[in-house]
Chains A and B, each alone.
Chain A
Amino acid sequence: MKNAFGAPQSLLVLGGTSEIGLATARRLIARRTRVVRLAGRPSPALERAAAGLRELGAEVHTVAFDALDPGSHEEVLGKVFAEGDTDMVLLAFGVHGDQIRDEEEPLGAVEVAQTNYTGAVCAGLVCAGALQAQGHGSLVVLSSAAGARARRADFIYGSSKAGLDAFAQGLGDALHGTGVHVMVVRPGAVRTRPARRGESPLVTTPGAVADAIVTGLRRRSETVWVPGPLRAVAAALRLVPRPLYRRLPVR
C-alpha cells in the first residue's frame, strides 16, 4: 500500500535498465519500497541493476519482458500482479532511435514507434486493468517534452512519445475515481553526465527526474515537467508559428 506521502511499498519498473527507472527505485527504496520488480529483456545489465538495488536492502526480482512482443504482456505482467499487490508501475522503457538513419530505413522508425507507443499502450492497458482490480496504485508513464511539439531533429521519437502522452492522459481520465492514479512525466533532454557550463537550463538528469516523480507521487500530480520551467517553455513553443519554429536552433 502507498502511505500518506504516496510512497509505494512495491514497485514494478517496466524497462528495468532505464536510468530514470533505477534512480526512481533507489529513491523509493530509501522511503518505503521493499519489493522491486525490474522487467526487461534478460541481460547482464538487468541483473547488474537488480544487484545494485539489492545492496540498498530491497527484495529485487527480475522479470523477462519484451516491449516489442505485446502478445506476451498479459501473461508476463499477469503473473507479476498475481504474486501480490503492486503499488506503483513505472513505465520507463523507450528507445530514442537514430533520426537520420531511421528516416532512410523506415523499419528502424517502426521499431521506435512499436517500442515507445504500441508496446507502451499494451503494457499500460494490462497494468491499468490489474491496478484497477486491486483498487489502488500509481501508473507513472515516462513521456517526453519532445512529444509536446514535433521537431525536425527528432520527430520520429517525438511523435511516438506524443502518442504515448495522449494515451496516458486519456487513460488517466478513464481511471479517475477508480483509485488508480496515472501520472505523466515529461522530462526535457536527459543527460546522464553532469551538465556542462553554458548548457541549456532545460537539460535534466535521471536523478532530477526521479526526484520529480517522488514529489509528484506525494502531491498526486497528473502531469510533471522536469525541470519545472519546461512547462512554460513548452506552452510558449506551442504558439510559435511554423515557419519560425522550423528555423529554431536544435538543442
Chain B
Amino acid sequence: MSVDTVSMTGWGRTAPTTALRFRPRTYEEAAVAVTGRGPRGVVARGLGRAHGDAAQNAGGSVVDMTGLDRVHAVDAVGGVVACDAGVSLHRLIEALLPLGWFLPVTPATRYVTVGGAIGSDLHGTGHRTAGSFTRHVRSLELLTADGSVRRVVPGTDLFDATAGGLGLTGVILSATLSLLPVTTSLMSVDTERAADLDAALAGLAAGGAAYESARIDLMARGRATGRAVLIRGEHVPVDALPARARRTALAFRPGKLPPVPAYVPEGLLGRAPAALLGELRFRGARAARAGRLQRISAFFHPLDALPGWNRLHGPGGFVQYQCAVGDGQEEVLHRIVQRLARRRCPAFHAVLQRLGAGGPGWLSFPVPGWSLSFGLPAGLPGLGRLLDLFDDETAAAGGRVCLAKDARMRPSAPAAMYPRLPDFRALRGELDPEGAFRSDLSRRLAL
C-alpha cells in the first residue's frame, strides 16, 4: 500500500488541505489504514468529484479507494452486479452495457466511484422515476472504526445513515447494485425551448420522459430571465433502429477531447463567455426537435468528454450550488434566478430538474419537488453573501442545499435543512465514539 502526503481539493479546486493518503489494494490494507489513523481521523476518497471538501481531511488520513477496483460478479440474467467501492461508474458502464444492462441512476459524470455515489447518494436527471443511487443498492460492506467489516442492507439505520452519509459512518468497501435493462446504448432525445423560467417549470411539470432536465441560461435578463432548453431522453429499444445500426446497438465508445492544460488563467469563464454560451445553447436548440438519436455518453455525460474541465475556471476554482425545494415553492427558484440574472453572475452548467420521492438516507439530498444547480467562479466578489442568502431562502421554504457539493455553508444551516441530522449524529456517536471518520466538511459544518 503506497502512502504519501498530498494536498487535495474537491472538484471545485477551492480550500486545499493536506493529508496522508493511503492507497489500499485489498480490504485488509484499507482496514490497516483505518485502524492506524492518527488523532485527526480518516475519510475515504474516490475520484475526487465532490465539488467541496467532503473527501478531504486536513492533517489526518485519506483512504484513496480507487485501487480497490474489481468487479466481482455480474448476474447478466437478473441484472445485479457486485463490485468494489473504488470501481468507477465509467468502468461499470463499460463492462455492463454490452451485456444489455445500464446503471439505473447516472449522475452528470461517470467518473465517480460506486462508494462515492453511495456516500453522496447521487441522483440523475431521471430522479422523478428512478430515485437516487442508493435506492438500487441491495447491500454494501462497511469498514467501521474498529477495523471490522459489516454487511449493511437497506431498511436498517446504518444503511440510512450511510446512504448519503458523506463517508462519515465508515469506509464502503463493496456494494451490490441492481441494474436497468437496455437494448441499445442510444437515447432518443427531444429538445424544446422554454422562453422563460415559468415556461421551463411548466415544461418539466408536465413530465412524461424517463430523463428530463432544463439547461437554464442564467445570464438572460428581462423577459427572458430563466429561459431554458428542455431536454428529454428515453432509452431507444433495439427494434426502433435501422438494421445496420442494430449490429452495434450496445456499443459504448465515448469520445474524448485533449485534456485542459494544467494552468488556465483566472477569469477565462467570465461574463462574456457565459452569456455567449447561453445564447448559443438557446439559439442552437431549435424550437422543438424530437427523436434525435444520441449516444448514452453524450446524453448523460457531455462534460466527461473534456478531461479536467474544472481547470477552465482558473486557479481560483469554482463553487457549485445545488438546492432543492418542494412543489409550490417555485417562488424561491424565481427569486434565485432573478438575483443571479440581475447581478450578471457568470453561472455555468445551470440545470433545473424535477425530483421524485426522496430516498431513506438521513443526509440524502433529494426531496420531492425541484432542484436547481449551477456553478460560479469562487473569485466573484460578494458571492459568499449571495449564496448565504439563497441558503436562507431555501431553508425557509423547507428545502435543502446539497452537502456533497458544499464548500461554503454556514455551520448552522444544515440543521434547519436536514431534519434527520440529530439521528445521524446520534448513530455516529454510538458507532464511532472517537470520531474516527472525519472530513473537512464534517469539521466545517460540525456534522
Q: Chain A residues in contact with chain B, CB under 8 A?
A: 1-7, 9, 31-32, 34, 85, 133-136, 177-180, 218-220
Are A136 and B440 in touch, CB under 8 angstroms? yes
Are A4 and B15 in touch, CB under 8 angstroms? yes
Q: Chain B residues in contact with chain A, CB under 8 A?
A: 5, 7, 12, 14-19, 40, 52-53, 57-60, 315-317, 319, 378-379, 383-384, 407-411, 440, 443-444
Q: Which residues of A contact B17 (CB under 8 A)?
A: 1, 135-136, 179
Given A5-B378, A136-B18, A136-B58, 6 more contacts at CB 8 Å? A3-B15, A4-B14, A4-B317, A9-B411, A136-B15, A179-B16
CA distance A34 to B446 in the complex (A): 13
A9-B444, A31-B384, A136-B59 as given contacts; A4 in contact with B18, CB under 8 Å: no
CA distance A134 to B57 in the complex (A): 9
Q: Which residues of B contact A134 (CB under 8 A)?
A: 40, 58-59
Q: Which residue of B lies closest to A30 (CB)?
A: B385
CA distance A2 to B52 in the complex (A): 11
User: Contact check: which of A3, A135, A219 meets B59 at CB < 8 Å?
Assistant: A135
CA distance A5 to B406 in the complex (A): 12
CA distance A164 to B390 in the complex (A): 42
CA distance A28 to B256 in the complex (A): 43
Closest 6 CB pairs of A and B: A135-B59, A179-B18, A135-B58, A4-B407, A1-B444, A4-B14
Chain A proximity of B339: nearest CB distance (Å): 18
CA distance A184 to B410 in the complex (A): 28
Are A219 and B316 in touch, CB under 8 angstroms? yes
Q: Which residues of A contact B443 (CB under 8 A)?
A: 1, 85
Q: Which residues of B contact A179 (CB under 8 A)?
A: 7, 16-19, 58-59
Are A3 and B58 in touch, CB under 8 angstroms? no
Are B411 and A5 in touch, CB under 8 angstroms? no
CA distance A180 to B58 in the complex (A): 10
Q: Which residues of B contact A135 (CB under 8 A)?
A: 17-19, 40, 57-60
Could you name 16 residue pairs across A and B whose Cβ atoms are closer than 8 Å?
A: A1-B443, A2-B15, A3-B408, A4-B15, A4-B317, A4-B407, A5-B383, A5-B408, A85-B443, A133-B59, A135-B17, A135-B18, A135-B40, A178-B5, A179-B7, A220-B316
Are B15 and A1 in touch, CB under 8 angstroms? yes
CA distance A6 to B5 in the complex (A): 22
Q: Which residue of B lies closest to A131 (CB)?
A: B59
CA distance A135 to B316 in the complex (A): 20
Looking at chain A's contact residues, is the secondary structure mostly helix, strand, loop, or mixed?
A: loop
Chain B proximity of A4: nearest CB distance (Å): 4
CA distance A1 to B383 in the complex (A): 18
Most buried by A among B59, B316, B383: B59
Most buried by B among A9, A133, A177, A179: A179
CA distance A26 to B319 in the complex (A): 25
Are A3 and B7 in touch, CB under 8 angstroms? no
Q: Which residues of A contact B58 (CB under 8 A)?
A: 1, 85, 134-136, 179
CA distance A242 to B292 in the complex (A): 75
Chain B proximity of A134: nearest CB distance (Å): 4
Are B384 and A7 in touch, CB under 8 angstroms? yes
Chain B proximity of A219: nearest CB distance (Å): 6
Q: Which residue of A lies closest to B8 (CB)?
A: A179
Are B52 and A4 in touch, CB under 8 angstroms? yes
CA distance A183 to B33 in the complex (A): 34
Q: Which residue of B lies closest to A175 (CB)?
A: B18
CA distance A166 to B153 in the complex (A): 58
CA distance A6 to B315 in the complex (A): 14
Chain B proximity of A26: nearest CB distance (Å): 16
Chain A proximity of B44: nearest CB distance (Å): 17
Q: Which residues of B contact A34 (CB under 8 A)?
A: 411
Q: Which residues of B contact A31 (CB under 8 A)?
A: 384
Are B379 and A219 in touch, CB under 8 angstroms? yes
Are B408 and A4 in touch, CB under 8 angstroms? yes
CA distance A34 to B40 in the complex (A): 21
Are A4 and B378 in touch, CB under 8 angstroms? yes
Most buried by B among A2, A133, A134, A219: A2
Chain B proximity of A171: nearest CB distance (Å): 16
Are B384 and A5 in touch, CB under 8 angstroms? yes
CA distance A79 to B58 in the complex (A): 20
Most buried by A among B14, B15, B18, B57: B15
Are B384 and A1 in touch, CB under 8 angstroms? no
Q: Which residue of B lies closest to A177 (CB)?
A: B7
CA distance A3 to B441 in the complex (A): 9
Chain B proximity of A177: nearest CB distance (Å): 5
Most buried by B among A4, A136, A177: A4
Q: Which residues of A contact B383 (CB under 8 A)?
A: 5
Are B53 and A1 in touch, CB under 8 angstroms? yes
Are A1 and B440 in touch, CB under 8 angstroms? yes
Q: Which residues of B contact A218 (CB under 8 A)?
A: 378-379
User: Contact check: which of A2, A4, A219 meets B12 at CB < 8 Å?
Assistant: A4
Q: Which residues of A contact B12 (CB under 8 A)?
A: 4
User: Contact check: which of A3, A6, A177 meets B444 at CB < 8 Å?
Assistant: A3
Q: Which residue of B lies closest to A1 (CB)?
A: B444
Most buried by B among A2, A3, A6, A136: A3
Chain B proximity of A234: nearest CB distance (Å): 23
CA distance A9 to B58 in the complex (A): 14
Chain B proximity of A217: nearest CB distance (Å): 11
